C-alpha cells in the first residue's frame, strides 16, 4: 500500500565500507588505533566535572535539568565572549549562540545561507564531517575560491594541523564572501599562540565556530557560533527548529567549571601532552614509514601522511586493521579524490605516548603486506 517516499539525500560515495571498518576497530581488542581524532581521555578533568555536576544539579533553580533558551546559558555565553574579546574581538554575550557542538554551528550556517547546488570553498584537505554535511545538503565543496561560502579551519587545520596559509587568508578577506571560521583546534597550538579571530577583522561576514570537544571533552556536545549580528535572529530560529537548545546539563556544568577553574592552565597541560605525542608520531613515521611524507604539526591532534603512489586507502585500512592498528583514509578529507596519491590521517591524540611507536610499527608491517598484494603505481608529485 505504502510507496517508499524518495529520500532527498544524494548518494554517499563508498564511505560506508570505511565506516564498517572503523566500527570494527572500536570493538577489537588490543588495537592501537591512530584514527578518529579523539581527545586524550587522561586529560578529561573528571574530578572537576564531577564536582561541578553535583553543584549544578544541587542549585535551587535546577536549571541544569530544566529547559533553557535557544541561545544558551548566559554565564557560558559571557565566558565565551570574554575569551574572544581578549583575543581582539568586539562582541558581547548576546552575540554568542551555544550550539550542540561545532558540527551544528556549521550546519546552521549552511542551512541559513545556501541552497542546493551552491559551492563551498574548502582547503584541499578538510574536516570530513563538514564535507559530508555539505554533500548531504546538495552543496558542492570546491578548492576554488569562486564559491558562495568559504569554510576555513582557523588557527590549526585538520588533518594537517598547521596554521592557515597567509595568502589564502588574505584572499578570503579580500573576497567579501561569507566565511565559516572553524576554530575547533585554535587553542591547541603547541606554541601557545592563539590567533586573532577572523571576526575581529571581518565581523560582518565571519561565522565563528568553536567547541569544547577538543580542548575539554566531546561528551558535553557543546560548541558555539558567533554570527554577524544581522543573521542572529534567523540562526536562532533555525537552532530552535533543529533541537530547541543545546543540552542544559552540560551548559550548567560548564558554567560551574569556568567560574573558578583555570581553563588556561588546562589548555597548557593539553598542549604539552599533545605536543609530545605529535613528536613521537612524526619520529615514528619517519623511522618506520620512510617512503611517506609527513610535516611536523604546529598543534592539534593529527598529521597527514602521503605516499608518492596511487593506491586504495580503504584496502590499506583493511590490512592495517588486521595488523592491529587503524588510520583515517585520505579520501575522507578530500574534495577531489581522483588521482590523489595514497594518503591518510594519523591521530596521536588518543594513543598513550609510549604506544605510539608500536602503532606505527604495526602500520609499517601492514604497508609491507599491502604493497606485496597491490604494487604501487607512481602518480608523480
Q: Which of residues 144-203 bind its own copies (CB under 8 A)?
A: 148, 176, 178, 202
Compare residues 93 and 294 and give the one whose CB is closer to its own copies.
93
Compare residues 114 and 342 and give the one whose CB is closer to its own copies.
114
7 touches its own copies (CB under 8 A): yes
- How many residues at the interface with its own copies, by CB under 8 A? 77
Choose among 206, 239, 234: nearest CA to 223.
239
The grid coordinates listed for 74 are 548566559
The distance of closest approach from Cβ of residue 241 to its own copies in the complex, given in angstroms and rounded to an integer, is 4
The distance of closest approach from Cβ of residue 177 to its own copies in the complex, given in angstroms and rounded to an integer, is 8
- What track of x and - describes contact with its own copies for positions 85 through 124 (by CB under 8 A)? --------------xxx-xx--x---xxxxx---------
Compare residues 21 and 49 and give the one whose CB is closer to its own copies.
49
- Note the Cα 62 to chain centre separation in Å: 32
The distance of closest approach from Cβ of residue 331 to its own copies in the complex, given in angstroms and rounded to an integer, is 17
Q: Cα dist. 218→20, 139, 156, 213, 222 in Å?
A: 22, 27, 18, 4, 8
Give the up-direction half-sphere exposure of residue 108: CA atoms within 13 A in the CB hemisphere: 34
Contact set for its own copies, span 8-67 (CB under 8 A)? 8-9, 12, 16, 23, 36, 38-39, 41, 44, 46, 49-50, 53-54, 57-58, 62-67
Compare residues 242 and 296 and give the one whose CB is closer to its own copies.
242
Tracing cell 615514528 back to the chain, one arrives at 284
The distance of closest approach from Cβ of residue 36 to its own copies in the complex, given in angstroms and rounded to an integer, is 7
Compare residues 53 and 337 and give the one whose CB is closer to its own copies.
53
The distance of closest approach from Cβ of residue 73 to its own copies in the complex, given in angstroms and rounded to an integer, is 11
The distance of closest approach from Cβ of residue 15 to its own copies in the complex, given in angstroms and rounded to an integer, is 10
Instruction: Read off φ and ψ for residue 313, nearest 5 degrees.
Output: -65, -30
Choose among 323, 319, 316: nearest CA to 292.
316
The distance of closest approach from Cβ of residue 151 to its own copies in the complex, given in angstroms and rounded to an integer, is 14
Compare residues 1 and 338 and give the one whose CB is closer to its own copies.
1
The grid coordinates listed for 77 are 555565553
The distance of closest approach from Cβ of residue 317 to its own copies in the complex, given in angstroms and rounded to an integer, is 18
DSSP code at position 330: G
Report angle CA 269, 357, 265 to the nearest 5 degrees: 0
The distance of closest approach from Cβ of residue 202 to its own copies in the complex, given in angstroms and rounded to an integer, is 8
Q: Using CA of residue 236, residue 242, residue 244, residue 247, what is the dihedral sign?
A: negative
| Residue length of the chain | 381
Buried b (16+ CB within 10 A) or exposed e, 76-102: bbbbbbebbeeeebebebebbbbbbbb
Contact 188, 214 (CB under 8 A): yes
Compare residues 178 and 341 and give the one whose CB is closer to its own copies.
178
- Judged by CB under 8 A, which stretch of 2-10, 153-161, 162-170, 303-311 contacts its own copies? 2-10
The distance of closest approach from Cβ of residue 266 to its own copies in the complex, given in angstroms and rounded to an integer, is 14
Choose among 102, 147, 161, 151: nearest CA to 123.
151
The grid coordinates listed for 319 are 590490512
Compare residues 15 and 283 and give the one whose CB is closer to its own copies.
15
- Note the Cα 232 to chain centre separation in Å: 23
Distance CA 268, CA 261 (A): 13
Compare residues 240 and 368 and give the one whose CB is closer to its own copies.
240
Choose among 234, 127, 114, 258: nearest CA to 181.
127
Contact set for its own copies, span 226-265 (CB under 8 A)? 230-231, 233-234, 237-238, 240-250, 252
Contact set for its own copies, span 297-326 (CB under 8 A)? none
- Judged by CB under 8 A, which stretch of 90-98, 132-140, 310-318, 338-346 contacts its own copies? 132-140
The grid coordinates listed for 51 are 564536582
Amino acid at each position: 500500500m505504502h510507496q517508499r517516499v524518495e529520500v532527498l539525500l544524494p548518494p554517499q560515495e563508498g564511505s560506508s565500507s570505511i565506516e564498517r571498518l572503523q566500527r570494527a576497530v572500536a570493538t577489537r581488542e588490543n588495537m592501537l588505533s591512530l584514527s578518529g581524532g579523539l581527545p586524550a581521555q587522561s586529560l578529561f578533568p573528571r574530578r572537576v566535572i564531577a564536582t561541578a555536576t553535583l553543584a549544578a544539579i544541587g542549585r535551587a533553580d535546577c536549571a541544569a535539568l530544566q529547559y533553557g533558551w535557544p541561545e544558551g546559558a548566559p554565564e557560558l555565553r559571557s565566558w565565551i565572549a570574554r575569551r574572544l574579546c581578549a583575543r581582539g574581538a568586539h562582541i558581547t554575550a548576546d552575540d554568542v549562540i551555544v550550539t550542540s557542538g561545532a558540527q551544528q554551528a556549521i550546519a546552521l550556517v549552511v542551512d541559513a545561507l545556501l541552497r542546493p547546488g551552491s559551492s563551498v570553498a574548502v582547503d584541499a584537505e578538510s574536516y570530513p564531517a563538514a564535507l559530508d554535511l555539505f554533500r548531504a545538503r546538495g552543496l558542492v565543496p570546491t578548492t576554488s575560491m569562486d564559491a558562495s561560502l568559504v569554510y576555513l579551519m582557523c588557527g590549526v587545520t585538520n588533518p594537517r594541523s598547521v596554521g592557515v596559509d597567509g595568502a589564502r587568508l588574505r584572499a578570503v578577506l579580500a573576497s567579501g564572501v561569507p566565511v565559516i571560521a572553524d576554530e575547533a583546534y585554535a587553542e591547541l597550538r603547541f606554541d601557545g599562540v592563539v590567533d586573532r579571530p577572523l571576526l575581529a577583522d571581518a565581523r560582518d561576514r565571519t561565522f565563528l565556530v568553536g567547541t569544547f570537544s577538543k580542548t575539554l571533552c566531546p561528551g558535553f556536545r557543546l560548541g558555539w557560533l558567533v554570527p554577524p549580528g544581522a543573521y542572529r535572529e534567523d540562526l536562532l530560529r533555525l537552532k530552535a527548529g533543529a533541537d530547541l537548545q543545546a543540552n542544559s546539563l552540560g551548559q550548567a556544568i560548564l558554567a560551574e567549571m569556568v567560574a573558578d577553574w583555570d581553563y588556561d592552565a588546562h589548555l597548557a597541560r593539553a598542549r604539552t601532552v599533545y605536543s609530545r605525542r605529535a613528536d613521537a608520531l612524526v619520529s615514528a613515521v619517519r623511522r618506520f614509514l620512510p617512503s611517506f611524507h609527513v610535516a611536523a604539526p604546529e598543534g592539534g591532534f593529527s598529521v597527514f601522511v602521503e605516499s608518492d603512489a596511487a593506491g586504495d586507502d580503504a584496502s590499506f585500512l583493511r590490512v592495517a586493521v588486521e595488523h592491529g592498528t587503524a588510520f583515517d583514509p585520505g579520501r575522507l578529507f578530500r574534495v577531489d579524490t581522483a588521482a590523489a596519491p595514497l594518503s591518510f590521517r594519523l591521530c596521536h591524540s588518543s594513543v598513550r605516548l609510549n604506544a605510539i611507536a608500536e602503532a606505527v610499527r604495526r602500520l609499517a608491517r601492514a604497508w609491507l603486506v599491502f604493497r606485496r598484494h597491490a604494487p604501487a603505481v607512481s602518480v608523480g608529485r
